[in-house]
Amino acid sequence: MDTKKKKLVFLTGAGMSAESGIRTFRDSNGLWENYPVMDVASADGFARNPKLVHQFYNMRRADLLKAEPNEGHRLVAQLEKDYDVYVITQNVDNLHERAGSSKIIHLHGELMKVRALDDESKVYELKAGAIETTPETIIDGHHVRPHIVFFQEAVPMIEPAIEIVQQADIIVVIGTSLVVYPAASLLNFASPTAQLFYIDPNPAIVPSRVTVIKKGASEGMKELIERL
């Protein structure tokens, strides 16, 4: 850890990528309005109809390949010049990586990766030309599944995320409805002296010590940088 720089932690959700053209989950016309979440993003749904779940994530990958990081992602990455920046994201896209952020924790998995059904330690990155998988797909001798944390499954990265949040000098939440746990509970682990911000055009209710910037990710990031 860089001892000279302040530790700045971003907790991001689907709203972070909205300006890149990736649909959020719970806004109007959000993904969960069009696809029953328990069919396409739960452990039971995958057991019931794996073909449908593969198809859903194939479509999400096709959307991601058409998308570019937005100004908000880029400003988060640029802050590494002055701060020890960590990104803890609920997003499964790779837009923080492509914008240049270097320390990223994906709480809910990664869209461009799949893993072996019979050995979860075997994770494979999909190439841009081969993003479609089915229950029949075999990679390296294994049937695979999306490298996504389904509802009803544990969130293995929550422990390292809590440790990072506990040590943060500044925490900035961006673009999340704060309804999915345990991600939504991370803010509770902030130190009493940490400065807290929340950028969202339609923010959830948060404790009064959090400074709310009621704007989209890009404009909100510009305002944040003026305030830091």
In the complex, which residue's CB is closest to ligand OAD?
15
Q: Which of 8, 9, 11, 19 binds ligand OAD (CB under 6 A)?
A: 19
Q: Which of 201, 211, 223, 228 binds ligand OAD (CB under 6 A)?
A: 201
Which of 89, 103, 113, 69 minimizes the C-alpha distance to 218? 69
Q: Does 85 bind ligand OAD (CB under 6 A)?
A: no
Sheet holding 109-116, edge to edge: 119-125, 109-116, 142-148, 138-139
Q: Does 223 bind ligand OAD (CB under 6 A)?
A: no
Q: How far is the CB of 136 from ligand OAD (least distance, A)?
A: 24
Q: How far is CA 51 from CA 96, 120, 141, in A?
A: 29, 19, 19
Phi and psi at 174, nearest 5°, equal: -135, 125
Among candidate residues 108, 142, 143, 147, the one labeled active-site is 108
Neighbours of 207 (CB within 10 A): 10
Q: Which of 20, 101, 133, 176 binds ligand OAD (CB under 6 A)?
A: 176
Interactions with ligand OAD, residue window 124-163 (CB under 6 A): 149
Q: Which of 64, 74, 79, 90 binds ligand OAD (CB under 6 A)?
A: 90
Q: Does 108 bind ligand OAD (CB under 6 A)?
A: yes
Q: Does 182 bind ligand OAD (CB under 6 A)?
A: no
Q: Does 24 bind ligand OAD (CB under 6 A)?
A: yes
Q: Which of 125, 202, 209, 225 binds ligand OAD (CB under 6 A)?
A: 202
Distance CA 32, CA 182 (A): 19
Is 142 among the residues known to form the active site?
no
Structure tokens at 123: 């994770």
Q: Going by DSSP bridges, is the β-strand pair 195-199/170-174 parallel, antiparallel, or unpaired?
A: parallel
Those residues whose C-beta lies under 8 Å from the C-beta of residue 58, and which sit 6 or more positions away, are 131, 132, 133
Q: How far is the CB of 225 from ligand OAD (least distance, A)?
A: 16
Q: Does 30 bind ligand OAD (CB under 6 A)?
A: yes
Distance CA 89, CA 101 (A): 12
Distance CA 175, CA 198 (A): 8
Active-site residue set: 108
Residues lying near ligand OAD in the complex (CB under 6 A) are found at: 13-15, 18-19, 24-27, 30, 41, 90, 108, 149, 175-177, 179-180, 200-202, 216-217
